[in-house]
């Protein structure tokens, strides 16, 4: 019963929706990028039309929703493309409450069912959109908030359990990626050559990366850091738990609370994802992943960070 009460207390926690709003905005921006880039590069016909209609391969019937509407015809494909884009914009600006992420997720999943060729950011974005369906993410920093109260922000507390699920989801993503990478090319026991060879993949390169051979040992270090970073993410969950229960004491809890692992892992994530985005064309992978990170922090911490940024921006230099 004690464990059950603790579990209920964790999921029944309420707080202002700042973290969920930031997650919503970043997820929406990632979805806008994913859909808009396909339109801008004139790739809709190539990717989602059947070979008989000008596409590059013979397509299947699609998901139940695609089949319900008559199959992956050009008009149906464009319907889902435009619904995805409109929904992603609505998610970003916070218009339409839970309906906007629901429509966006279903439209994007329908496109994926037509052609399964999609970056990993698609699955990450779909998970985030579903959490936004379950969360009150437009309570603040949204058009909905403006229409409802005449203000862009709100202090109204909302259920915070979707933040808990988002953090667990992030840990699962990283940890599973770390498990998948257990091989001679990733682990310190091997040659740690994975990142070097990834940078040489022409399908992802933004430009020639032959010069990386001159700094091969640095790519080995980056490989080891990436693998250890991903595999150790369950430690972040433990750290968060200890921060929430700091009053219980204990040597391990006291020791771990002296170092804010959230900030350490956020800094590493910004560096890793930032370098990947600069070097390789991996779509909105960085934004899709970082969308979960605001849920690591409380509203007060997020606001304090914003206040520091504002002071640093406007205070005159000496």
State pLDDT tens for residues 282-311.
Answer: 989 999 999 999 999 999 999 998 888 877
The mean of the pLDDT values for the chain is 92
Beta-sheet strands, E only, within 85-221: 157-159
Average the pLDDT over 65-86 and give the result. Answer: 95
Structure confidence at residue 300 (pLDDT): 93
Higher-pLDDT residue of 116, 180 = 180
For residue range 26-70, list pLDDT tens digits in order. Answer: 999 999 999 999 999 999 999 999 888 888 888 888 999 999 999
Higher-pLDDT residue of 6, 183 = 183
Q: CA-based angle 32:38:43, to the nearest 5? A: 170
Structure confidence at residue 142 (pLDDT): 97
Is residue 14 within 8 Å of 157, Cβ to Cβ? yes
Task: State the alpha helices, DSSP H only, in 181-281.
Answer: 194-199, 216-231, 234-244, 251-257, 261-279
Question: Does 314 have pLDDT greater than 80?
Answer: no
Is residue 132 within 8 Å of 98, Cβ to Cβ? yes
Two tokens, residue 251: 């040597």
Give kind and range of the element (H or E) at residue 299.
Answer: helix 299-314
Give the sign of the dihedral formed by CA 106, CA 107, CA 113, CA 118. negative
Two tokens, residue 21: 């709003």
Structure confidence at residue 54 (pLDDT): 84
């Amino acid at each position: 019963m004690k464990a059950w009460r603790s579990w209920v207390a964790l999921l029944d926690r309420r707080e202002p929706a700042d973290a969920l709003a930031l997650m919503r905005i970043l997820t929406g921006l990632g979805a806008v990028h994913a859909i808009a880039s396909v339109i801008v590069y004139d790739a809709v016909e190539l990717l989602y039309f059947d070979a008989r209609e000008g596409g590059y391969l013979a397509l299947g019937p699609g998901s139940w929703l695609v089949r319900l509407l008559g199959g992956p015809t050009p008009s149906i494909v464009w319907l889902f493309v435009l619904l995805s884009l409109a929904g992603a914009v609505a998610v970003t600006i916070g218009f339409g409450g839970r309906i906007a992420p629901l429509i966006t997720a279903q439209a994007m999943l329908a496109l994926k069912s037509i052609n399964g060729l999609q970056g990993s950011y698609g699955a990450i974005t779909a998970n985030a959109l579903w959490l936004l369906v379950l969360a009150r993410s437009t309570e603040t920093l949204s058009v909905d908030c403006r229409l409802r109260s005449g203000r862009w922000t709100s202090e109204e507390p909302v259920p915070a359990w979707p933040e808990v699920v988002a953090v667990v989801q992030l840990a699962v993503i990283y940890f599973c990626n770390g498990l998948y990478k257990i091989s001679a090319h990733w682990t310190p026991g091997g040659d740690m050559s994975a990142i070097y060879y990834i940078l040489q993949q022409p399908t992802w390169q933004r430009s020639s990366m032959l010069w990386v051979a001159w700094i091969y040992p640095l790519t080995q270090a980056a490989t080891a850091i990436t693998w250890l970073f991903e595999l150790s993410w369950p430690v972040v969950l433990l750290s968060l738990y200890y921060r929430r229960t700091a009053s219980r004491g204990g040597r391990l809890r006291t020791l771990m609370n002296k170092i804010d692992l959230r900030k350490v892992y956020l800094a590493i994530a910004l560096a890793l994802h930032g370098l990947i985005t600069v070097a390789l064309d991996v779509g909105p992978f960085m934004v899709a992943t970082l969308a979960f990170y605001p849920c690591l922090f409380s509203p007060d911490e997020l606001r304090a960070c914003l206040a520091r940024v504002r002071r640093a921006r406007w205070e005159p230099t000496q």
